[in-house]
Amino acid sequence: MRFKSWRQSRPLWGSVITIISGLMILWVPLNLYLSTFLPGSIAVIGLLFGGLITMIGLLALFFPQSAKILGIFTMFLSVLSVIGALGGFLVGTIFGLIGGSALIAWRMGSTDPDEDDSVHVTEDPVRAG
């Protein structure tokens, strides 16, 4: 029950898909580096974009009120990651687009109980003394 309320108060799926996308984008430049030690700056761009997308996914979990702007950043970075990291062979980019769209589309329910039925007010009797 506690997990359910935690999950419902933040864009869980959008964040998880965004984190997976970031890790996929990171995978390509990391492999390039470990196997060939190629000099050049392009793989560094891939590391940067992959790292940023992973971080945005984590941030969206802890700052759900900023989900919309974080989603826009995710989409922008995942499209650009095609240059330099091949966008995790495009699968990472597609995941980034899905995760980013899910973050953009996520809305926090209103805190006014009369306005929205997504807010539940529970009344528990409490002993006061």
Partner 1 sequence: MREKRQSVQVKGKTNKKVFWTSFISGIMLLAVLLVSIGLSGVAYAVPLAGVGDFYVEFDKLEGTGYTFYPKMGETSSEASAPEGTNLIDKLTITNLKLYKDFKVGDQWIRVKITASKPVQITGLQQDASLIQANAQFSDLVLKENYSNDWTKQFKQTSSKITLGSAKLKTHYLFQKTINMNGMKLTVEKIDKK
Q: Which positions lie near partner 1, rule CB under 8 A?
A: 5, 8-11, 14, 35-40, 64, 71, 75, 78-80, 82-83, 93, 97-98, 100-102, 104-109, 111, 113, 118-129
Q: How far is the CB of 55 from partner 1 (least distance, A)?
A: 19
Rounded Cα distance, 26 and 46, in Å = 7
Both tokens assigned to 59: 């941030």
Q: Which residues of 92-110 are buried (b: 16+ CB within 10 A; e: fewer)?
A: bbebbbbbbbbbbebeeee
